[in-house]
Amino acid sequence: MTVMADERVRYLTPEDVSEALQIPVGTLANWRSQKKGPKFYRFGGLVRYHPDDFEAWLAAQAVG
């Protein structure tokens, strides 16, 4: 499979998501261990979030 340059996705780091949500990075780690929070991926020892998954999760958190 070939990925074209304009199709590349920049995966979000835990720090990116932490900043966007204004929560500690440790909270995201807790959520991952509890199977809560946005869907995430592991690439080796790195945790990353796909921006589409993060946006979908964020939209699903709306109340009312």
Residue 25, domain member (yes or no)? yes
**Has residue 4 got a pLDDT over 80?**
no
Enter the pTM of the model.
Answer: 0.85
Q: What's 44's domain CATH number?
A: 3.90.105
Answer whether 43's CB lies under 8 Å from 9's CB.
Answer: no
The angle at the Cα of 63, spanning 57 to 39, to the nearest 5 degrees, equals 15
pLDDT digits (tens, 9 = 90+) for 11-43: 999 999 999 999 999 999 999 999 999 999 999
Answer whether 50's CB lies under 8 Å from 44's CB.
Answer: no
Residue 2, domain member (yes or no)? no
Q: Which pLDDT band, with edges at 50, 70 and 90, does 2 fall under?
A: low
Domain count, the chain: 1
Average pLDDT over residues 43-52: 96
The angle at the Cα of 21, spanning 34 to 8, to the nearest 5 degrees, equals 90
